[in-house]
Amino acid sequence: MAEPSPAPPRHRTTQPTLAALAASLGGCLPQPGQAIGLLGGSFNPAHEAHLALSLEALKRLGLDEVWWLVSPQNPLKSAKGMADPGDRLAKARRTARHPRLRVSDLERALGTRYSIDTLLALKARFPRVDFVWLMGADNLIQMSRWSRWQQIFHIVPVAIFDRPSYSLRALTAKPSRRFARQRLAEAKAGGLARARPPAWVFLHMPLNPQSATHIRARLGTESDPGPGGNPAS
């Protein structure tokens, strides 16, 4: 999930009922005190690298669940070549083979386009849930193009996961420099969910070279990903 800068006017969110939110999450709502990882993206399509990152987050960050937020349309990507949201959602559900992973169209239910608006809506609805923003190192490199990206670090802790060939650029990117003093040691990742923002950690993990871009190219459905398109989404 990625957003253009300068920030456009805020997109007005909707106020779905708790029943509608529960339906989007597969039937149940998070409980107070739970730690939930949020992995946003186009998932065009979902693949094994998404799964590997999520399982690593469950293990290393001490999370209760990870939610995959399948974006109706990434503002930094062209609609051309983007699969139907329902198809992407279905593929993501087939890929997320773990009882503590939930695939959701929460952004459709909330009426949000930008990550910051999604986070604000979730924090307002579930103030006693500890959310952690999850992202690959490739997304961190272009995060400064997102709408109100600095605010994200002030709302929730952030976990960045290594991606093949992106580590050095990610750790010298604008967000890394801006919040250098708030970076936690990797050994303290288990406490990130309870840390007071801004707080973030960079996690090394076995590198999975699979990407949605490569999958689409192999299937002959590749197209211009649009400005800011990246192989992790």
Model confidence pLDDT, tens digit, residues 155-179: 999 999 998 889 999 999 999 999 9
C-beta neighbour count of 25 within 10 angstroms: 18
Domain residue limits at 40: 30-219
Pairwise pLDDT comparison (159 vs 224), residue with the higher score:
159
Reported as a pLDDT band with limits 50, 70 and 90, residue 80 is low
Reported as a pLDDT band with limits 50, 70 and 90, residue 195 is very high
How many domains is the chain built from? 1
Pairwise pLDDT comparison (108 vs 76), residue with the higher score:
108
- Find the CATH number of the domain harbouring 151: 3.40.50.620
Please report whether residue 8 resides in a domain.
Answer: no
pLDDT of residue 120: 97
Reported as a pLDDT band with limits 50, 70 and 90, residue 100 is very high
CA pair distance 45, 89, nearest whole angstrom: 9
Please report whether residue 229 resides in a domain.
Answer: no
CA pair distance 201, 228, nearest whole angstrom: 23
Q: What is the mean pLDDT of residues 184-188?
A: 97
Quick: pLDDT tens for 56-65: 999 999 999 9
pLDDT of residue 72: 83
Please report whether residue 18 resides in a domain.
Answer: no
Reported as a pLDDT band with limits 50, 70 and 90, residue 216 is very low
Q: Mean pLDDT of all residues in the chain? A: 85
Please report whether residue 16 resides in a domain.
Answer: no
Pairwise pLDDT comparison (74 vs 191), residue with the higher score:
191
Please say if the pLDDT value at position 217 is more than 70: no
Q: Report long-range pairs for 226-230 (Cβ below 8 Å, ≥24 apart).
A: 226/74, 226/76, 226/77, 226/78, 226/80, 227/4, 227/76, 227/77, 228/2, 228/4, 228/76, 228/77, 228/142, 228/145, 229/76, 229/77, 229/78, 230/2, 230/138, 230/139, 230/141, 230/142
pTM listed for this prediction: 0.83
Q: What is the mean pLDDT of residues 128-138?
A: 97
Please report whether residue 21 resides in a domain.
Answer: no
| CB distance 30 to 126 below 8 Å | yes
CA pair distance 68, 97, nearest whole angstrom: 12
pLDDT of residue 78: 54
Please report whether residue 140 resides in a domain.
Answer: yes
Please report whether residue 139 resides in a domain.
Answer: yes
Please say if the pLDDT value at position 212 is more than 50: no
Please report whether residue 188 resides in a domain.
Answer: yes
Q: What is the mean pLDDT of residues 139-146?
A: 95
